[in-house]
Amino acid sequence: MIGISGIRGVVGETFTPELITRLGATFGTYCNGGKVIVGRDTRVSGEMVKHALLGGLISTGCRVIDIGICPTPSLTIMIDELEVDGGVMISASHNPIEWNALKFYEPTGIIMDEDAGREFLSIYYLGDFDYKYWDGIHDLEYDHSTEERHLKRIFNHTDIEAVQAAGPKVVIDSCNGAGAVITPKMLEKMGCEVVKLHCEPDGLFPHNPEPVFKNLQDLAETVIQEKADIGFAQDADADRIAVVSEKGEIIGEEMSLALAVDHVLSSEKGPVVINMSTSKVISDIVEKHGADLYVTPVGEVNVSKKMKEVAAVIGGEGNGGVINPAIGTGRDSLAAISLILEMYAQRGQPISEIAAGFPRYEIMKVSVECRRGETPRILTKLEEKYEGNRTDTSDGLKIFFENAWVHIRRSATEPIVRVISEAPTKQEAVSLNSEIQQYMHEQMDS
């Protein structure tokens, strides 16, 4: 899979050492043999991938700094802190354990966009690598300050005293991923009573790491058993977050962004940026605060670039990816947790009551297997079928209905088509999603 979220594949099948080394040489050439930092999540395959990558980077004269196991947002912060020419994060994010990936970052701390990606792939396919002679090869360097630098940024922009005074009991499920050490440490320093769930950084995921409803049952049960005030779930590289209330209710990934947006806009007015697949609750919150809303195609890079362009105060994606520009350029689950805990402490309300004050919509996310070459034809057929409706084709196809919408697009991280529908009720969201799926299957069968 090659897309806006990097290059990923199944280890031992498509994601091989030969491929990884070649990609390393490609990025080293792209960076003109500059200074590059490398980090990884806890996946079992991570060490193999790292060493294959290092060979390619070092062979092109790069000065490589290994920052070890860390969340993806920590790596993007380190790009800025160390003023390097690029960064590579080894992580397949929410994908299952058999997957791994390389995410390539620009000196801005933002992941490569499409234009940069085309230049990158041109170097890759031509094999025009800038290999250096023996006297142009540099030793690998190490930096162990990542955790300290990331937490310092968060604490500089958080009302720590308010959270400490509230002393919330928090359950954190890091899925044995990159957030397993730094997140409990952050919570403890903020004065929380911490219950750790799946916080062994061994990369053996107890469940699929995507923070969606079916993977949050352990967390919900633990929140109830421990009589905790709130629960958080991170994905494997700790850039996404989902929330569980004190009642064990799965507030979910969409509402994680809603909480963060509402809290920031309560004290700081400014633009907000989201993607096309994000719940309407965000636009309702932004309208309530009288702020400006910008909507981009799906993909962290699209949101991050637009946020920088319009000087947004908060933004993100409905998959639980909150971007706080005061802290970093990318999705950051730790920054999101700090915002939500600050909100909880300052408002003095249970998280269930805060969430209940927002407009409620039901969103349904389904994955449909579809041959890559078939997707454009099916989207065209769908656009023709709903030609009387308002549509947006800037990223796949989004169809608007009176009180609902559905977004159909090819996934950038898995070989599937995502069908996301939202409506005022679950029955309407399910019905709309099923209608679209049925038509897609009819077209595939024909």
Active site residues: 93
Packed helices 333-347 and 182-189: angle between N→C axes, nearest 10 degrees: 20
Q: What phi, psi does 394 have (nearest 5°)?
A: -70, -20
Q: What phi, psi does 364 have (nearest 5°)?
A: -125, 125
Residue 174's nearest CA partner among 195, 193, 154, 188 is 195
Residue 276: CA atoms inside 13 Å, Cβ hemisphere, count? 23
91, 237 in Cβ contact below 8 A?
yes
184, 177 in Cβ contact below 8 A?
no
- Measured CA to CA, the distance from residue 358 to residue 289 in angstroms comes to 13
Regarding beta strands 362-368 and 230-234, do their DSSP bridges make them parallel or antiparallel, or are they unpaired?
Answer: unpaired
Distances (CA, A) of 48 to 13, 15, 21, 44, 207: 14, 11, 11, 8, 23
